[in-house]
Amino acid sequence: MTTRIGVVTFPGSLDDRDAQRAIRIAGAEPVALWHKDKDLKQVDAVVLPGGFSYGDYLRAGAISRFSPVMETLIDQAKAGLPVLGICNGFQILAETHLLPGAMLRNNHLHFICREQKLRVENAGTAWTSDYEAGQEILIPLKNADGRYTADEYTLDKLEAEGRVAFRYLTDGPEADGYGNPNGSLRNIAGITNEAGNVVGLMPHPEHAVESLTGGGTDGLPFFTSIIKKLVSA
């Protein structure tokens, strides 16, 4: 049976087709989901893609949180459905409280677009099992509201429970000048929920899935990880 992974399109989504392509390259079947449709079409997992849903009006991800598809998705995610939020998708997951914390405007107040070095902190989630803890990867990043923030209690809890999934590589010769791109607290680039089925991150793994584009394939394990997880379930 082919693994079916849904990709939600909101008004203003611009990386939904890229996410679908990444899923196809990894060996699964991408399923287009429209934000006004509550039906998830019996998919095995869902990706909330990057972009500027609703133009980022009010607050990034704040309006999408109330889209009809999210009513179903929130319940399904709490029941164990694997969900990956990329950039704007991460912002939406924070707005729905499926993941803790919030995204603020980058500390330098500029949109940033570059390749970004990350360190994998948690290789035990549904979306990261094809990585190794401590592995360093290079993933494209593009955002204006990517500064992860949370209160000290939440940050300490994430650290203690191993729920920081990715961190910006900012020190040592490996950082090579990449540093923290947006001022995220504790250099957090991505986190997971307690169950490990919901993961959000600001960088864009769907843009690093084939060597043809010159960006490498460091993002492909996100999609192979979830396929292996679902096949073995």
Give the pLDDT confidence of 32-57 residue by residue, as tens digits: 999 999 999 999 999 999 999 888 77
Q: What tens digit of pLDDT does each residue of 82-96 get?
A: 999 999 999 999 999
User: Among 40-54, 67-81, 160-174, 218-232, whose mean pLDDT is lowest?
Assistant: 160-174
CA–CA dist 110, 124 (Å, integer): 33
At 173 the pLDDT is 52
- How far is CA 179 from its chain centroid? 19
CA dist., res. 123 & res. 9, Å (int):
28
Across 1-5, 33-37, 129-133, least confident range? 1-5
Any idea what DSSP says for residue 13?
A: B
Catalytic residue among 35, 95, 121, 206: 206
- In this prediction, residue 59 carries a pLDDT of 78
| CA distances in angstroms from 199 to 76, 154, 179, listed in the order given | 14, 16, 22
- The confidence score (pLDDT) of residue 57 equals 77
Is 206 among the residues known to form the active site? yes
Is 80 exceeded by the pLDDT of residue 4? yes
How far CA 210 is from CA of 22, 23, 41, 46, in Å, comes to: 9, 12, 28, 21
**Banded model confidence at residue 176, pLDDT cuts 50, 70, 90:** low
Check if 87 is active-site. yes
Q: What is the DSSP letter of 86?
A: E
Query: What's the pLDDT score for residue 229?
Result: 94
Residue 113 annotated to the active site: no
Among 110-114, 156-160, 164-168, 219-223, the range scoring the smallest mean pLDDT is 110-114
* Predicted pLDDT at 98: 98
Name the pTM for this structure.
0.94
Which residue in the list 35, 87, 95, 207 is annotated as catalytic?
Answer: 87
| H helix and E strand count, the chain | 5, 11
Among residues 35, 95, 121, 204, the one annotated as catalytic is 204
Is residue 60 very low, low, confident or very high in pLDDT (cuts 50, 70, 90)?
confident
Q: Please, how many CA atoms are within 13 Å of residue 83, restricted to the half-sphere of its CB?
A: 29
